[in-house]
Amino acid sequence: MRKVLLVLGLIVVCAFVVACASTPQVIEKEKVVERVITATPPPAGAATAPTTAAAQPKAAPVAAPYRIGIFEDMKTGNYWSYQGPNNTVWQKFIMQPQRLALYWTNDKRFDLFPQVALDLNAARVKEGDKWTITVKMKKDIKWSNGKPLTAKDVAFTANTAMELELVGPMASTYDRTYLDKVEAVDDFTVKYIWKKAPGMAIWEWGAAQGQIMSEAYWAPVVADAKKALANADKNNKEAYTKALADARTTLYNHAPQGEPLAGYFTFVKWEKGAFTESKANKDNYLNGTTLTVYKNGGYAEVKGSVSYKQGDTTGDKLVEYTAGPSVTGAVYTLYGTQDAAVLALKKGEIDFMLNSLGLSRGLMDQVQGQKGIEVVNNPTNGFRYMSFNVRKKPMSDIAFRQAMAYMIDKEFISKTILQGVAFPMYTEVSEANAFWFNPNVEKIGKGMTTEQRLAKAIQVLEKAGYKWEGGKKPTWDKAGVRVAPGGKLILPDGTPCPNLNLLAPSAGYDPLRSTFGIWVERYANDLGIPLKAELIGFNDIITRVNQDPERDQKLDMYIIGWSLAIFPRNLETFHHSRWTGLGNNNTGGYSNPEYDKLADQLLECQEAKECQKIAYRLQEILAVELPYVVLFDTGIIETYRTNLAYPYTETLSGLQYINGLPQAVATYK
């Protein structure tokens, strides 16, 4: 197992280097430096990584809160709900620093390290017809109320997720297809019992990274939720499904008050529409611990005479810092637009802008070179996409989806309309995640002129039996250099294409996706598809996509985005037919038995190379069948005031990926 993790760690380092190579514009400190970095693969057995380390001010830190600007409000203060139907990156920014898991992922090399677990020595053991993994836990970790975090908390969290059949990320973290139950062997030993051998996606990148909840606090709430199941007959599927939904609603609707937490921060206050406040948890188990990551993959935690070491800790250091938090807390202030937050940053009202979208080039120009402000640029691991609701005609037809993909000129929008801020994408794994990225997928429409795109889209539709009203197909007007629209598209069954709706974020939230939404509307109408782009708030899209009980009938298409983990579990959770239920991530309802079978294999593979082959094939299927049209992504441009000091600022997907690094940032006068 250690060999697998080391290989994966080396792979991810290569991914970071390649990411830098694909981003010629690197922004450092207060000037833009144009340069091309050539990625040189490391020799076998060697690891490389970008050197970092922000300059550390000499003055002593002052006791102050970390003031952060955000652009969308939380939807819930309930972690179960966040890991269910209210799963947004804005929730993650605020809630993740408050939680702990058995394993955590280092932000420089993306190797796995123990967090609550004592070490990484938990092996898969065959016991009868089951498999088990037994984990020893650290004994000095306490909840914010002073009570010890124990194996009972770990088991309670996992078993609750399975018993209530929770949806969303919680469902895939504790995957009931594989995980049978979790037992507390003693206070600091937890045993996972599996129905079949779990692969890397299910254990190391799944259950082992599940955030732990306090049994003492949540047990009464869960008991109340389970009342809905008391008289439910499991043999009556419809009745039991409703009972489960009622139980989940009770759990999700609970508003926590005084919930014990064990991470770097504890929750203080949420003023809806205004701000959220967290308090530094000075009693977290790592406070005052020096953390060191070595270029060769070694890792060490040292606090006084107590230390934990993993791998070779004698080589060159990649990064070293002392965990805190050294700030008194974190205040997340809500701003309606990036412009407003940039103004607040320039005036010194906030220290950092936490934004999964990154800073727009126009706003970057406003702060570039400003005294007291730093700007950094990092590659990203994610994508923005347009999803089809494939439960409905005509979105259920591959030919319709392919025709739409041919019409959408990603290169033109990215390079000309958005002036190079975005770059087009064709697969659901980021190029920055090099080991898992398949560069050879079908790239529908790439390199075609608008005339060629139109001709190909018409060809695909006609072959599938589509026609146009009055026999009038759209044509290419060479003189006007544009598409001359024809009649409305007629479906193969002879009925006119219905009026369709495309949800996309408003320009105030994300001008990039808003722009794509407007152009997709134009391209569709050029083809005779009566599509209307509806530009609305981000949280409104999430509600309509994840929570609307009439979604399957009402939803047509939407544009949104994903930030991704290193292991591409998303290829399974986004598109396997078992995740099509309300609140889960296959919101478009894609279903393909061949794809499901391969996706299952992705969850069971235990060697990186084996998993890579499966991930490549899954990307190839998606690029042709197109439940998503992957549109684009951007590098992540971030800005902060120089009164902050970070142990490092170069990391895949930027500081926003690690929630602004609140556990390690220091503030100065």
Are both 489 and 606 inside the same structural domain?
yes
In a domain, 60, yes or no: no
From 51, 67, 91, the end of a domain falls on: 51
Query: What whole-number distance in Å separates Cα of residue 484 and Cα of residue 601?
Result: 47
Mean pLDDT over 347-368 rounds to 86
Pairing of strands 179-186, 130-136: unpaired
620 shares a domain with 471: yes
Q: Which residue has the tokens 């709900």?
A: 81
Position 183 in a domain: yes
Q: Does the residue 519 lie in any domain?
A: yes
CATH number at residue 139: 3.90.76.10
489 or 3, which is more confident: 489
Q: Evaluate whether residue 341 is within a structural domain.
A: no
Q: Give how far Cα 470 sits from Cα of 268, 496, 523, 658, Å.
A: 64, 12, 20, 56
Q: Report the pLDDT averaged over residues 44-67.
A: 56
331 contacts: CB under 8 Å, gap ≥ 6: 65, 66, 67, 68, 275, 276, 277, 278
Average pLDDT rounded to a whole number, residues 410-419 = 93
* pLDDT above 80: residue 21: no
Q: Are residues 104 and 223 in the same domain?
A: yes
Across-strand partners of 638? 376
Tell me what pLDDT residue 5 has. 38
Tokens of 600: 């299952």
The total number of structural domains that make up the chain: 3
- The answer to whether 142 touches 135, Cβ cutoff 8 Å, is no
Assigned domain for 527 exists? yes
pLDDT of residue 58: 52
Q: What is the DSSP string of 63-103?
A: --EEEEEESS--S-S-HHHHTTTT--HHHHHHHGGG---SE
Cβ atoms within 10 Å of 33's Cβ, excluding its own: 10
322 lies in some domain = no
Token duo for residue 464: 């599938």
| 13 shares its domain with 118 | no
User: Is residue 663 left, alpha or beta, with left meaning phi > 0 and alpha meaning psi from -120 to 50?
Assistant: alpha
Residue type, position 462, single letter: E
Answer yes or no: are the C-beta atoms of 385 and 560 closer than 8 Å: yes
Say how far apart CA 127 and CA 290 lie, in whole Å.
39
pLDDT (average), residues 562-573: 93
Q: Is 433 exposed, middle or buried (0-12, 13-18, 19+ CB in 10 A)?
A: buried
pLDDT score, position 347: 94
593: domain CATH number is 3.10.105.10
Q: Does residue 445 share a domain with residue 387?
A: yes
Q: What is the 3-state secondary structure (H, E, C) of 480-542?
A: CCEEECCCCEECCCCCECCCEEEEEECCCCCHHHHHHHHHHHHHHHHCCCCEEEEEECHHHHH
What is the rounded CA–CA span in Å between residue 555 and residue 548?
9
Do 367 and 375 meet the contact criterion of CB atoms below 8 Å apart? Answer: yes
Tell me which long-range contacts 647-650 makes (C-beta under 8 A, separation of at least 24).
647/52, 647/53, 647/54, 647/319, 647/320, 647/321, 648/52, 648/53, 648/54, 648/107, 648/108, 648/319, 648/321, 649/52, 649/54, 649/374, 649/376, 649/378, 650/50, 650/52, 650/376, 650/378
| Whether residues 540 and 409 fall in one domain | yes
Residue 115 and residue 34 share a domain: no
User: C-alpha angle 665/270/244, rounded to 5°?
Assistant: 110
Nearest to 45 by CA among 297, 317, 294: 297
> Which of 329, 275, 255, 304 lies closest to 98 in space, CA to CA?
329
Residue 28 banded pLDDT, cuts 50, 70, 90: very low
Domain boundary among 227, 253, 279: 253
User: Which residue, 663, 15, 629, 31, is CA-closest to 369?
Assistant: 31
Residue 524 covered by a domain:
yes
409 plus 492 within the same structural domain: yes
Q: So what's the pLDDT on residue 342? A: 92
Distance in angstroms (rounded) separating the CA atoms of residues 632 and 647: 30
Residue 400's pLDDT is what? Answer: 98
Residues 145 and 244 in one domain: yes
* Closest to 633 measured CA to CA, from 618, 608, 653: 653
Residue 204 pLDDT level (bands cut at 50, 70, 90):
very high
Is residue 374 within a helix (H) or strand (E), and if so which, with residue range? strand 373-378
pLDDT at 17: 33
> Domain check: are 544 and 421 in the same one?
yes
Cα gap 351→70, rounded to integer Å = 11
391 and 494 belong to one structural domain: yes
C-alpha to C-alpha distances, 568 to 179, 362, 378, 523, 592, nearest whole angstrom: 20, 33, 20, 31, 19
**What per-residue confidence (pLDDT) applies to 359?**
82
Q: Which domain holds residue 198?
A: 100-253
Lowest-pLDDT choice from 182-186, 296-300, 425-429: 296-300
Strand pairing report for 189-194 and 130-136 = antiparallel
**Position 355 confidence tier, pLDDT thresholds 50, 70, 90:** confident
What's the rounded mean pLDDT across residues 603-619?
96
User: pLDDT by residue (tens digit) across 448-487?
Assistant: 999 999 999 999 999 999 999 999 999 999 988 999 999 9
Output the CA–CA distances (angstroms, integers) from residue 521 to 156, 243, 416, 458, 515, in the order listed.
48, 41, 18, 17, 10
Q: How confident is the model at residue 183 (pLDDT cuts 50, 70, 90)?
A: very high
**CA distances, 197 to each of 143, 353, 585 (Å):** 32, 43, 24
In whole angstroms, what is the distance from residue 6 CA to residue 107 CA? 15
Residues 37, 117, single domain; the answer is: no
Residue at a domain's end among 235, 253, 271: 253
DSSP letters along 330-352, please?
A: EEEEE-SSHHHHHHHHHTTS-SE
Tokens, residue 511: 């001008």
Q: Return the higher-pLDDT residue of 36 and 390.
A: 390
Instruction: Give the count of alpha carbons within 13 A of 643, CB side only.
Output: 19
Residue of 19, 5, 11 lying closest to 635 (CA atoms): 19
What's the burial of 407, exposed, middle or buried (CB within 10 Å: 0-12/13-18/19+)? buried
> Average per-residue pLDDT in the chain?
89
Query: Residue 107 — pLDDT band, cuts 50, 70, 90?
Result: confident
- pLDDT over 90 percentage in the chain: 76
**Does an H or E element contain 278, and which?**
strand 275-280
φ and ψ of 64, to 5 deg? -155, 155
Tokens matching residue 206: 């799944």
**128 contacts: CB under 8 Å, gap ≥ 6:** none
276-293: average pLDDT: 94
> Taking the CB of residue 469, how many other CB atoms lie within 10 A of it?
13
* Cβ atoms within 10 Å, residue 397: 18
Per-residue pLDDT band for 59 (boundaries 50, 70, 90) equals: low
Q: Which pair of tokens denotes residue 301? A: 């935690």
**How would you write 185-230 as a 3-class SS string?**
EECCEEEEEECCCCCCCCCCCCHHHCCCCCHHHHHHHHHHHHHHHC
For Cα atoms 645, 649, 655, give the angle at the middle one, nearest 5 degrees: 100
Tokens coding 12: 């991810």
Distance separating alpha carbons of residues 316 and 518, to the nearest angstrom = 50
SS3 295: coil
Query: Is 629 part of any domain?
Result: yes
CA proximity to 115, closest of 216, 7, 9, 209? 209
pLDDT of residue 10: 37
